Amino acid sequence: MKKNISRRLFLKGGAAAACTLAASSISSAASKADMHEQIATLIDISKCIGCEACVEACCEVNSEKYPKPQKPFPKMYPKRVPVADWSDKQDVTNRLTPYNWLFIQSATVEKDGEEIELTIPRRCMHCVNPPCVKLCPWGAAKQLENGISRIDSDICLGGSKCKAVCPWKIPERQTGVGIYLDILPSLAGNGVMYKCDRCYDRIAAGKVPACIEACPENVQTIGTKNEIIKQAHKLARETNGYIYGEKENGGTNTIYVSPVPFKELNKAIEKGKGKPHFKPVKNVMAAASNLGTAMLIAPVAGAIAAAGKFYSMVKAEKGDASNET
Amino acid sequence: MKHNKFHIGYELITGYIYRITIFMLTLSGFAQMPIFKRYYIADMPGLGWLSKFYVTLYLHYLFGIIFLVFTACIITDFFLTLRKKYKITASGYIRVAILAGLTASGIILVIKNFAGYYYAPVFIVVMNLIHLGLVFIFLITGFTCIILKKNWMRDWTTL
Ligand code: HEM
Ligand code: SF4
Ligand code: SF4
Ligand code: SF4
């Protein structure tokens, strides 16, 4: 297993990448013992030629996980509940859909006075502390110990909260599939949410994600988070590049390195439904973490307040008593 | 005399804090599920915030903090002073137990939300269901107690 992943990485990432990634980091992607370290990918935008080999590979490898909705869909109440049906548009590849977890975004930008065309693979960022997972009110979205976040299509109800709280609005809904059909299909739930699961099953089997394996240009490198960040900084230093994903939303496991600033990239790409931005993103879970810490101290404050009240009462009583005598 | 007045005021205030806190916890808690928008409740003037997941999450946390400060205060107070004068009733014990379960499951959900905390997915699902289940049990018990005029505590002297 280990051999497989490291050999591939060696072949793909070129000697330099393979050396910096060395055995330790790659094996940890595959071995269970080291699962505590999150796996990350580096995406070198300057290398991508926009061939969409990765998009095809993703579709091929993951098509078994795609929704197979039952039609007609049960009527949903109230009327405003939107039906999201991609089953007749499964070949759409210019945005994220339940049937397309990776797409190529393009941008025409200026670099050193010259106009250049950049193509950028886009998918779930695999946040270090993923709000889609943490705020799922059921626990259908989960994060594996290697940092991969994925949505369990067996129990997802399709309420789309994961999408609402995702800074990039990544998960996409398909109506007419999932467990909601067995509960109260007209009153609660609306299908299942889908997104890149970082080929968790392949990784567990010691293979690299399909999109990484298929890319003829070695655009993506996979390894442990620390190694990938080091490598991204090195690449950015050497190419005067810019980094996205390291700090965004408190840190993600997808580190982009671009030859132009992300502010410019963000202006140049087509954004909108199923087409994520490249804006700065603050850590959306930070406030909850701070409030959570305060919550763990809260009982102590309460106990001290009551004890304080007790002692002032005892004191007052003593005072009363001494006044009386 | 002085003490009695103090205690009546104290009970009134704790009663209000407690009811408001539980009400806000329930409201912000239900808002954790994507239901208020679907069912037009967030469309009502002044209630738009109910469909803003981060707002309601922070509110649930905030009232969780108030609830914990308040509860720790009452429990300490009970052992230091109230115990001498009051006895917890049977319905009081039931409500305390439900709230303890709600708090325990709630705190586990809070810990889950810190970065780097992984639990078995099934465990999270079970915790969510326990938390939600206890909410319903608590609401039913609470309303029953209000209707039947059952108090949490009883004065020893009236026994
Ligand atoms: C100090 C006590 C409590 C804490 C720390 C707490 C914490 C939490 C947390 C963290 C969540 C899930 C949010 C998420 O991560 O997605 C939640 C959900 C919820 N809470 Fe609480 N909570 C507490 C007490 C209560 C009480 C007293 C009620 C109502 C009587 C309540 C009602 C709810 C409801 C309805 C949900 C949504 C259903 C669910 O996700 O299970 N909570 N609570
Ligand atoms: S990018 Fe969105 S969907 Fe992906 S892990 Fe982060 S919050 Fe979840
Ligand atoms: S990691 Fe797997 S699921 Fe994610 S985009 Fe690549 S091929 Fe698709
Ligand atoms: S396969 Fe590689 S070069 Fe082709 S579009 Fe995907 S990332 Fe770019």
Query: pLDDT class for B139, splitting at 50, 70, 90?
Result: very high
Kindly indicate the confidence band of residue B78, based on its pLDDT and cuts at 50, 70 and 90: confident
- Compute the nearest-CA separation of A318 from chain B (Å): 14
pLDDT for residue B40 is more than 80: no
Residue A75 pLDDT class (50, 70, 90 cuts): confident
pLDDT confidence tier of residue A27, bands split at 50, 70 and 90: very low
Helix (H, G, I), strand (E, B) or coil at B38: coil
Tell me what pLDDT residue B5 has: 59
- Does the pLDDT at position A6 exceed 50? no
Which numbered ligand comes closest to the C-alpha of A201?
Answer: 3
Q: Which two tokens stand for residue B74?
A: 């009452």
Q: Can you give the pLDDT at residue A18?
A: 40
DSSP state of B114: S
pLDDT at A30 exceeding the cut of 50: no
The average pLDDT across A266-280 equals 94
DSSP-based three-state secondary structure for B56: helix
Task: Tell me how far apart the alpha carbons of residues A176 and A71 are, in angstroms, rounded to a whole number.
Answer: 7
Q: Do B53 and A165 touch (CB under 8 A)?
A: yes
Mean pLDDT over each residue of chain A, to the nearest integer? 86
**The predicted structure's pLDDT at residue A241:** 95
Residue A311, pLDDT score: 84
For residue A290, the CA-to-ligand 3 centroid distance in Å is: 33
Going A199 to A142 to A251 to A196, the CA torsion angle's sign is: positive
* Percent of chain B with pLDDT strictly greater than 90: 44
For residue A233, pLDDT over 90 is answered with yes
Using 50, 70 and 90 to split pLDDT, how confident is the model at A275? very high
Select from A188, A250, A288 the Cβ nearest to the Cβ of B113.
A288
Q: Are A211 and A57 in contact (CB under 8 A)?
A: yes
What is residue A21's predicted lDDT score, i.e. its pLDDT?
A: 40
The label of the residue with tokens 């999270």 reads B124
pLDDT tens, A143-193?
Answer: 999 999 999 999 999 999 999 999 999 999 999 888 887 887 777 888 999
Q: What's the confidence (pLDDT) of residue B126?
A: 95
B2-36 pLDDT per residue, tens: 455 556 677 778 788 889 999 999 999 999 988 88
- What was the pLDDT predicted at A166? 96
Pocket test for ligand 3, best of A41, A43, A151, A197 (most atoms within 8 A of CB): A197
Predicted confidence (pLDDT) at residue A307 exceeds the cutoff of 90: no
The residue type found at B60 is H
* Selected residue with higher pLDDT from B14 and A264: A264
> What confidence tier does A58 reach under pLDDT thresholds 50, 70, 90?
very high
Instruction: Walk me through the domains of chain A, giving residue ranges and CATH numbers.
Output: 7-324 (3.30.70.20)
Q: What is the mean pLDDT of residues A194-207?
A: 94
State what percent of residues in chain B have pLDDT above 70.
92
Q: Over chain A, what HEC string results?
A: CHHHHHHHHHHHHHHHHHHHHHHHHHHHHHCHHHCCCCEEEEEEHHHCCCCCHHHHHHHHHHHHHCCCCCCCCCCCCCCCCCCCCCCCCCCCCCCCECCECCEEEEEEEEECCEEEEEEEEECCCCECCCHHHHCCCCCCEEECCCCCEEECCCCCCCCCHHHHHCCCCCCEEECCCCHHHHCCCCCCCCCEEECCCCCHHHHHCCCCCHHHHHCCCCCEEEEEHHHHHHHHHHHHHHHCCEEECCCHHHCECEEEEECCCHHHHHHHCCCECCECCCCCCCCCCHHHHHHHHHHHHHHHHHHHHHHHHHHHHHHHHHHHHHHHC
Does residue A4 register a pLDDT over 50? no
Please report the pLDDT score of residue B156 as a whole number.
Answer: 66
Q: Report pLDDT for B13.
A: 81
Query: What's the confidence (pLDDT) of residue B157?
Result: 60
A245 touches ligand 2 (CB under 6 Å): no
- If we measure between CA atoms, which residue out of B45, B49, B25 comes closest to residue B36? B49
Check residue A29 and give its pLDDT: 44
Q: Report which residue type is found at A192.
A: V
pLDDT for position B15 = 81
Q: What is the dihedral of CA A109, A237, A263, A41, to 10 degrees?
A: 100
pLDDT at B8: 67
Atom number in ligand 1 closest to CA B26: 29
Lowest mean pLDDT among A74-78, A100-104, A267-271: A74-78
Note the pLDDT of residue B48: 82
Closest atom, ligand 3, to C-alpha of A123:
5
Atom of ligand 4 lying closest to residue A57 CA: 1
What value of ipTM does the predicted structure carry? 0.86
Establish, for the pair of chains A and B, how many residue pairs have beta carbons separated by less than 8 Å. Answer: 122
Mean pLDDT of A27-48: 72
Q: Considering only residues A306 and A152, tell me which one the structure prediction assigns the higher pLDDT.
A: A152
Tell me the mean pLDDT in the region A114-129. 95
Q: What is the pLDDT of residue B81?
A: 80
Q: Is the confidence at residue A28, as pLDDT, over 90?
A: no
Average confidence score pLDDT of chain B: 86
